[in-house]
Amino acid sequence: MSNVLYITKETLEQMKEELVRMRTVDRPAAARAIAEAREKGDLKENAEYDAAKESQGILEAKIKKLESDIASVRILDTENVDTSKVSILTKVTILNLATKKKITYTIVSEKEADLKQGKISVTSPIGQGLLGKVVGDVTEVTVPAGVFKFQIQEITV
């Protein structure tokens, strides 16, 4: 069985909407593309048919993956989050000790990560380096660009 996927209720709704779209819009479109390509003659030398079949296979794999993800979801609620330490769904303000720059991140699941919105994955190097820390702690995080030292300034929801 796959790992548990911790997400918010909003993300679960987005996943369900995407699954419905794939089943009701994308799947029939793929079937139409195959039918159109099939009408063009010899299937042995029909690149359009091969491409349509491959596209359908990729779509079916995405549907199966999304179904599996939805089946393994556990809903996280911000009301039950412990802000005494950094955990998933907490908003943490950190101070980069080298640059003296403050940054605020929300720790989220991989599925919800979006750096532009300040949401980092709990499985990212920074996310892992911050987990379990309390206000005042200093942590060293190794990222592709090198090693950063961060001090935890604030933890909220």
CATH number of residue 99's parent domain: 3.10.50.30
The confidence score (pLDDT) of residue 11 equals: 86
In a shared domain, residues 21 and 34: yes
In a shared domain, residues 123 and 142: yes
In a shared domain, residues 87 and 152: yes
In a shared domain, residues 22 and 38: yes
Domain count of the fold of the chain: 2
The confidence score (pLDDT) of residue 2 equals: 47
pLDDT along the chain (157 residues), means of 10: 73 93 95 87 78 93 93 81 87 93 92 91 92 93 89 92
Element (H, E) at 34: helix 27-38
Q: What are phi and psi of 139, to 5 degrees?
A: -130, 145
In a shared domain, residues 17 and 44: yes
How far apart CA 70 and CA 30 sit, in angstroms, is 23
Task: List all residues 6 or more positions away from 124 whose beta carbon is below 8 Å from its beta carbon.
Answer: 113
Boundary (domain end) residue, out of 38, 53, 76: 76
pTM: 0.68
